[in-house]
Amino acid sequence: MVTGINAFKNASFIMFQKIANILSIVSFVLVSSVIGGSYFGYKYVTSEQFKSKLMNEVLGNVQGLMPKILDKGLPEMTGPEIPEFKQPKI
């Protein structure tokens, strides 16, 4: 039978072991979830579904802007043609 200071030491050591075991399990769960989430996130970002979804979003935004830009950017009439540049003979 253990009494006094030795009993306190044994109880402290057992409590420390329980806390350390719980922390190691929590750490394992966190690391596993980060690795799993990273894997599935990478697979989604590199998938054709994500690529087509992103292209549809971008093209939808660009098509909405194109008529406004073309109306402002194209001139009604152009100037005269530029005469052909002839290099002098050396």
Series of mean pLDDT values for 10-residue runs along the chain (90 residues): 68 87 97 97 93 89 70 69 77
Tell me how far apart the alpha carbons of residues 21 and 89 are, in angstroms, rounded to a whole number.
91
User: What pLDDT score was predicted for residue 87?
Assistant: 78
User: What pLDDT score was predicted for residue 24?
Assistant: 97
User: What pLDDT score was predicted for residue 38?
Assistant: 96
- Answer positive or negative: Cα dihedral of 14, 18, 21, 27: negative
pTM: 0.50
User: What pLDDT score was predicted for residue 72?
Assistant: 67
User: What pLDDT score was predicted for residue 36?
Assistant: 97
